[in-house]
Structure 1
Amino acid sequence: MTATSERPTETPANPFLETPERAALRASVAALATRYGQDYFQKCAREGRKTDELWAEAGRLGFLGVNLPEEYGGGGAGMYELAIVMEELAASGTGLLMMVVSPAICGNIIARFGTEEQRQRWLPGLADGTITMAFGITEPEAGSNSHQITTTARRDGDEWLLTGRKVWISGVDQAEAVLIVARTEDAKTGKLKPALFIVPTDAPNFEFRQIEMELINPEKQFQLFLDDVRLPSDALVGSEDAALSQLFAGLNPERIMAAASAIGMARFALSKAVDYVTTRTVWKTPIGAHQAIAHPLAQGKIELEMAKLMMQKAASFYDAGDDWGAAEPANMAKYAAAEACVKIVDQAVQSMGGNGLSTEYGIAPLLNLCRIARVAPVSREMVLNFVAQTSLGLPKSY
């Protein structure tokens, strides 16, 4: 190879630099979120009302459906872009939990596996925010073990009858429908297999009750009760025989979005802490100059950036159509982001002393909210089980 002074005509794509389109999206979402801010979010929560204005404006601007197909009113992008929206909203103190559920889980599943009629019926509304859909998988006795789900769907002529219970289902009170994970009976073996059904929240024999929680959040959690809920044949999404693979199309985005939410929340807390320790002076020196304050915040920044890279990797795999390839980084991103978020919020409070628990500085509400990232949508222990068994090939413990 001979040396040459000529520069290449094209620069290879840098995976660590966002495209101009993604950078513009990030800036636009940040501008919207800043106009509302944490004060708006907290006021909605304390007054018992929803963040309807923010949700509606985000929908009109195309942010909610940025990952959905253009032919159904979406932005035609992917999970990378939707994660940007989630992260920037959370970084301004306005993280919308239902973004994890409605466009990410339900929207992706319907877009990939729904019939043309289902796509036409649901996707435009999910994209512009005029329709919200919840997702129901967790059950009181099954927890994270989807193989033990007991909600069953049985045929009754051309219709379905669903019976069962769900718990920890987000946003049912603001949803037009719930995408329910049930199980159907295999006529040949008699075994139950998972399947997905769209259940309108106003369907007869469908009930939901709010779970009281010590969280200041506009979006609530619910128990669901289904007692022979009758559904038309077209309520089934995709194939009766392939729902487990279809489930991955929703669960990987769920973990990516959970990571994005935790990353944004951590950024919010870290920014507040840095501003405080830079200006707070004791003994003529800003407290941020002291390594006991500076080093934990710097460590949090390092761990936060590593979690963000893993989230971007997971989103890139998913957008390339590799569900299995996305599973490992999606779980790792969710774990790393949750751990970084909890650590940063705790250190922010510690760095700010008593002010960290005051209403004025806005960090105290995050003490409870950040813990959600560790236990939902999948606990850190189950993520560790996944990595131990899938990534390391260790024996299964359960």
Structure 2
Amino acid sequence: MDFTIPREISDYIGVLDAFIETEIKPLEEENIRFFDHRREYERTDWDNGGRPKEEWEELLAEMKRRADKAGHLRWALPTDIGGSAGSNLGMAIIREHLAHRGLGLHNDLQNESSIVGNFPVVMIFHAVASPEQKKEFIEDMITGRKRVAFGVTEPNHGSDATYMETTAVQKDGGWLINGTKRWNSGMSNASHDVVFARTSGDVGRPKGITAFIVPVETPGVDIAYMHWTFNMPSDHAEVHFRDVWVPDSAILHEEGRGLECAQAFFHENRIRQAASSLGAGQYCVDEAVKWANKRVTWGKPLSTNQAIQWPLAELNTEAEMLRNLVYKSAWHLDQAHHMEVTHWVAMANYRANRFVCEAADRAMQVHGGMGYTRYKPFEHIYRHHRRYRITEGTEEIQIRKVAHDLFKKFRD
């Protein structure tokens, strides 16, 4: 087996680092209030429901424009929409590297913006949308001219999506949608929302759930409020759909097969979240080691104490094991249909998300009082990554996926 990072990826990482230093770092320094101890306080429009400030959104948009012009933003996308058809393995290595650099405009945590874009919804449209939908949406989603949100979770149903209560019934040559979505991500300035609703089939079964592309200005769509969360600003809305009518052409993919789109979204996101969690966690470990080596207490470096050494050595070992698991899972995702390797993606995701929280907490502890302040990045890293142990399938759900694959091997 060859564990060497492919030469083309390692070379490309060097190109990305140079781009960050020449194009992105100067832009970040001009807007440092969004990245120093003020962070989310400057990013959040507190008097407008906790939504992201327009200035913050525009800064992220400028970063993306520069990355797109340089040929980086679309790296993972297919060649026919301007990408380089980057592999899942390559994307995992790159996302880990960018997160390992620490906080910055090059790879922001709060809304997952990066110079190498993660476009799971674009990938879904590219795979299953109608020719008309592709023409209308794909390029505009990449450039930001259209913002497409994603509504699966409901007040009474999260990971148990097959029990969703939102329904759509046929009427007047189209569909009438009724229901409520919670944690409807991306709604702060969305132009459209991909809404999942049951159109047929039995409760608890995946068949019969349909994905609809709904313009947010459609009568009956009510963005009730944004949920204020552990990590602000909020882009997670409570949205009511009351007799929202859309035509047949609003269906994404096929009637009754919407959850296939959701599963593809989750697998694309989970492996990249795992890579980012690994990189951010390794950053926390490295920063804690640097601090322990230079911090002198009782006349000697803090790092001479085994109480400091051993937890960090354990975490560093965990990072090394995770690195192999994340890369191997990403490689598997490149070789097979995503549903065939769901257990690999689940293992990588839940372990990496748990690791980064432990690493951020340990870095705070090693830094002492300073680690608890907002002048250090650890609280921000912890707050951001803690949500991944819940969102897009809780870690308990993902462990269940792993257990299902494990135990079916030994059934009679």
Q: Same fold (TM over 0.5)?
A: yes
2:136 counterpart (121, 125, 129): 121
Segment drifting more, 325-334 vs 269-278: 269-278
Find the counterpart in structure 2 of residue 8 from structure 1. none
**Which residues of 2 match residues 1-398 of structure 1 at below 5 A?**
14-21=2-9, 23-25=11-13, 28=16, 32=20, 36=28, 40-41=34-35, 43=38, 45-47=40-42, 48=44, 49=53, 50-62=56-68, 63-84=72-93, 86-91=95-100, 92-93=102-103, 94-98=108-112, 103-185=118-200, 193-393=208-408
Distance 2:175 2:367 in 1: 56
How many pairs align? 381
- Percent identity for Structure 1 against Structure 2: 24
Distance 1:358 1:153 in 2: 49
Distance 2:329 2:207 in 1: 31
**1:141 is paired with a residue of what secondary structure?**
coil
Once the two structures are TM-superposed, the CA of residue 82 in structure 1 deviates from its matched residue by 4.1
State the TM-score, normalizing by the size of structure 2: 0.82
Once the two structures are TM-superposed, the CA of residue 198 in structure 1 deviates from its matched residue by 1.5
Segment drifting more, 244-253 vs 16-25: 16-25
- Cα displacement string for residues 251-283 of structure 1 (whole angstroms, at most 9, x for unaligned residues): 211211321332233133223322211211123
Task: Say whether the 8 Å CA contact 2:76–2:85 is kept in structure 1.
Answer: yes
Segment drifting more, 377-386 vs 305-314: 305-314
Residues 170 and 74 of structure 1: CA distance in aligned 2, closer, same or farther (over 3 Å):
same
5+ residue gaps, structure 1, are: 1-12
Distance 2:65 2:323 in 1: 25
Distance 1:17 1:60 in 2: 27
Distance 2:391 2:87 in 1: 23
- Cα displacement string for residues 30-88 of structure 1 (whole angstroms, at most 9, x for unaligned residues): 85365538863464521212343234323542344322222223332243444455444
State the TM-score, normalizing by the size of structure 1: 0.85
Residues 15 and 132 of structure 1: CA distance in aligned 2, closer, same or farther (over 3 Å):
farther
Once the two structures are TM-superposed, the CA of residue 112 in structure 1 deviates from its matched residue by 0.9
5+ residue gaps, structure 2, are: 45-52
Residues 149 and 216 of structure 1: CA distance in aligned 2, closer, same or farther (over 3 Å):
closer
Distance 1:251 1:218 in 2: 22
What is the letter of the counterpart of residue 95 of structure 1?
A: L
Residues 333 and 97 of structure 1: CA distance in aligned 2, closer, same or farther (over 3 Å):
farther
Find the counterpart in structure 1 of residue 49 from structure 2. none
**1:334 is paired with a residue of what secondary structure?**
helix
Distance 1:95 1:280 in 2: 28
**1:185 is paired with a residue of what secondary structure?**
coil
